[in-house]
Structure 1
Amino acid sequence: MKAPRPGTRVPVADGPADARLLTVASDYLKRFGFKGLTVVAVADAAGMTHANVYRYFPSKAALIDAVAGQWLRKLEALIAGIADAPDPADDKLERLLQAWAGAQRDLLVEDRHLFDVYVTATETSRPLVRRHKARMRQLLERVIDEGVATAKFDPRDRERALSFITDTTYRFINPVAIRLDQDVPPDILDQRLATAIRIILRALAFGNV
């Protein structure tokens, strides 16, 4: 898709300037990709000068990180809702892993440019991804600890159990691996993830890890 012409306007709701800029930047990234998004174009579409953009985001990279960070926080909120639900821990772990994988696959289909930004940030271990991984691990730990407390899980070693979960589901929750599997039919990926989850739940229940 061609880059936007100067003067292009994106409908922006009233609100704080930084939020308005993120709305425009998200739209531009989705439509034109990383190269097509410029600070000048975003500023113009938001009805402000590019110098004003730099008051909130010191660089294009910082603006893009903020856009990606918005999506990552939405994913974290989704997973937190599952982790805090009243369901048994084994049911929660299954739903958590399915939601984690599904949300990323949906992003790949619905907003490829943002997904590519996410992949690059993961490959280069950018701070926003490191923070995201830490928060996701905390949510996973919360479910595992609840499972231990309620006798749903009986792992021999907590850290090994957490590593076993992330290693077993790597293909389904790591964005780099997800992109490699983009041509695999969704129903096949669902079946493979379901099998991996069954193995994880059995290993946790019977103390195999």
Structure 2
Amino acid sequence: MSARLLEVASGHLRRLGPKGVTVSRVAAEACMTHANVYRYFTSKDALLDAVAGRWLRDVEAELARIADGPDPADDKIEHLLSALASMQRETLVHEPNLFAVHLDATVKARPLARRHRVRLRSFIEHVVEEGIGANAFVARDRERAIAYIFDASYRFTHPLPIKHDADLPRDLTDARLGAVILMIQRVLRTGTL
């Protein structure tokens, strides 16, 4: 039954936006009472986060594929950051209401966003450790290296600045991200943190 509720909520989110989605409307279309919806989701935010969570699982599956792939660690850093930035920008353009839920969950640090951040960190950590193990990275402090990657790429991988930069031409954003990735790779290779 929760799968049906998610399908209905996804359709409402797409058509009406986050503010237009109500538990009562979702329940009515799913042929149940709104009280029954609360058996599966504790609030409207929990319902919308579950919708966004399905999208984030797809994002994370792609990032996991990159992190576990055969490429060298410095290439993986580039592919991870580029893929994350691209998938979020594409969602902002093609599914702005879904992106709005992701942004709201991130800004308000709801469990959905915290879990996603933990998964992102695990992918980055995996690649950094792989790079150190292969002597491709000379990071003296693994934690500092991971924090540096997040800090340096923030503008391109966090939903808030992505939303703020929505009107920038794509080629300009890609060029700026490319420059940041080159800087991250250089710092990891030289250990200048």
Cα shift readout 1:99-141 (whole Å, capped 9, x = no counterpart): 0111111111111112111111111111211111011101110
Q: Does 1:193 align with 2:177?
A: yes
CA distance, structure 1, for counterparts of residue 187 and residue 43 of structure 2: 47
What is residue 80 of structure 2 aligned with on the other side? 96
What is residue 108 of structure 1 aligned with on the other side? 92
TM-score, L = length of structure 1: 0.89
Equivalent of 1:156, from 125, 140, 161?
140
Q: Does 1:70 align with 2:59?
A: no
Amino acid at match of 1:94: E
CA-atom RMSD, angstroms? 1.1
What is residue 60 of structure 1 aligned with on the other side? 44
1:50 positional shift: 2.3
CA distance, structure 2, for counterparts of residue 207 and residue 60 of structure 1: 46
Cα shift readout 1:57-90 (whole Å, capped 9, x = no counterpart): 1221211111122122221111111001111111
Q: Does 1:135 align with 2:119?
A: yes
Q: Share of identical aligned residues, percent?
A: 54
Q: Does 1:42 align with 2:15?
A: no
Amino acid at match of 2:45: A
CA distance, structure 2, for counterparts of residue 159 and residue 59 of structure 1: 36
CA distance, structure 1, for counterparts of residue 86 and residue 158 of structure 2: 11
List runs of 5+ in structure 1 lacking aligned partners. 1-16
CA distance, structure 2, for counterparts of residue 60 and residue 120 of structure 1: 13
1:175 positional shift: 0.4
* More RCO (CA 8 Å, sep 6+): 2
Task: State the SS of the aligned residue for 2:83.
Answer: helix
Task: State the SS of the aligned residue for 2:101.
Answer: helix
What is residue 155 of structure 2 aligned with on the other side? 171
1:157 positional shift: 1.4
What is residue 186 of structure 2 aligned with on the other side? 202
What is residue 30 of structure 1 aligned with on the other side? 14
TM-score, L = length of structure 2: 0.96
Amino acid at match of 2:188: L
Amino acid at match of 1:170: Y
Amino acid at match of 1:64: L
Task: State the SS of the aligned residue for 2:185.
Answer: helix
Q: Which moved more, 1:132-141 or 1:35-44?
A: 35-44
Q: Is the radius of gyration larger for structure 1 or structure 2?
A: 1
What is residue 8 of structure 1 aligned with on the other side? none
What is residue 180 of structure 1 aligned with on the other side? 164
Task: State the SS of the aligned residue for 2:138.
Answer: coil
Amino acid at match of 1:169: S
1:190 positional shift: 0.4
List runs of 5+ in structure 2 lacking aligned partners. none
What is residue 3 of structure 1 aligned with on the other side? none
